[in-house]
Amino acid sequence: MYARRAAQLLQELSSCEEGQLPPYNGDKFDQVIRECEEHSRQFQSLIRDKDIETKNEDHYGSFIHHLSIIRNKRCLMAYMYKRAEVIQSYRWNVGRVLPREIQDKLNFSEQEYFKDYCGVIDSYMKDLDLDLTVDMVPPKDPYIRVRVLSEIGEVSLGDHAVSLTKDSFHFLRRTDAEPFISQGLMEEFVE
Amino acid sequence: KKKKKRREQKSFPSQIASLPSPNPRHHPTVGLGASTCAMPGYYDISDILMEDEAVSVAFHVGANGVGLLDPGTETNSVEKGAKIDLPFWLAHELCRRRAVSITIPSCFGQKMKKDVQADAACVDLGTRYPYFYEFGCKLFPLVGDKSIGPFLRHTFANRYKEMLSKSHTASLNAIPKFVLRLSKEEHQLFEAARSSMVEFKKWRVRDLGLMKTTIVGHKRKTDLH
């Protein structure tokens, strides 16, 4: 009670590294909501039939319950907001497809949020006719050597098809190779 | 989706320098270098966690229905005159409405002042009081103690000198022991210094991609005809 559990939820979130998320703690989240309902019940019982202006003990008690609800709300909002920020950054750092470990940490509505966010970004990029997610760091060279780490198969890049078998080396355009590198399927080959 | 509120925050050292005198009618959040909107850093997690610190308060009034706050009470209420520990967010709101008065916590007390006088850099803020400075800034207008402001400034200034030199020379992999003694705000400064050193070193050895000209190596003739 009194927002202690909500603070634990935020501790969990802040103890993770920058850009990482802990699994969505639905249980604690629901517990905090139930605490808010409890505070609300206590609040209702303290203010019924009372004159709002008299500052007696009931007034202060109800005020404390009210503050607890506001505090819980703030904690939960900050929790969702921070997670939403990290999910947005996934689109830019990881790509359109999230690996299994990350997907497991999100709850259903967060996965939906990610899909909608990708859709918004994609339609914006289509209007601009420009892919904004490549070349986040300005490249020195438009082409890069890559080594394929896991079997990808036949991929058509531009006007020709390339067969990306495991442990093969290729000389690709950076914009084509970047989605695979961010998913961990390829790595840059540095001599 | 909620629009992000624009928040501009003054840099941390200037926040301490601009501490106002304690005026009970003065809104605590305005004038501390915070932004102009009513809830600065609403979504800011470290601000929320900082407000969870416990302070000891004395109740001027009774409060019904909140007996859980006071572990010593048998009825479901807090008696007038009770002294209990509340989280800062609760104490701060109640203090604004004159329902409680906050006693100065030990981190700004006499013993701490003596420790800082002896050697400011050795005081362990990281484990005991990680939100030392922010907490002091927020507490300052609520208690009548005018000395907290100068005390914070003095502590920070003394610790900063040593921290500055150590953070620029710290190696990237090992975490030096003194880092554990830093408060959250000092830790951010430390990280900023370390990453800027890393960037500087990278810049020093960067591949400039310059072409060597063939003229280098020939003796230059400097006759003027």
Region B1-17 average pLDDT: 49
Nearest residue to A57 (alpha-carbon basis) of B119, B133, B40, B75: B75
Q: According to the model, what pLDDT value does residue A74 have?
A: 92
Dihedrals phi, psi of A165, to nearest 5 degrees: -90, 165
Q: According to the model, what pLDDT value does residue A50 have?
A: 65
Region B11-16 average pLDDT: 54
Say yes or no: A46 contacts chain B, CB-CB below 8 A. Answer: yes
Say yes or no: A87 contacts chain B, CB-CB below 8 A. Answer: no
Say yes or no: A62 contacts chain B, CB-CB below 8 A. Answer: yes
Q: Cβ of B61 and A55 within 8 Å?
A: yes
Q: Considering chain B, what percentage of its residues have pLDDT values greater than 90?
A: 0
Say yes or no: A117 contacts chain B, CB-CB below 8 A. Answer: no
Q: Residue A116 pLDDT > 90, yes or no? A: yes
Residues of A in contact with B69 (CB under 8 A): 2, 64
Residues of B in contact with A57 (CB under 8 A): 61-64, 77
Alpha helices in A15-139, H assignment, sequence order: 26-47, 57-93, 100-105, 108-128
* Best residue in B64, B184, B195 for a mutation probing chain A (most A CBs within 10 Å): B64
ipTM above 0.85, yes or no: no
Q: What is the DSSP letter of B61?
A: S
Residue A151 banded pLDDT, cuts 50, 70, 90: confident
What does the alpha-carbon distance between residue B168 and residue B160 come to, in Å, rounded to a whole number?
A: 12
**Signed CA dihedral, A58, A39, A84, B193: sign only:** positive
Q: Residue B84 pLDDT > 50, yes or no? A: yes
Say yes or no: A64 contacts chain B, CB-CB below 8 A. Answer: yes
What is the DSSP annotation of B6-18? P-----HHHHHHT
Adjacent-strand bridge partners of B83: B58
Please provide the distance, in angstroms rounded to a whole number, between the alpha carbons at the two ends of chain B: 76
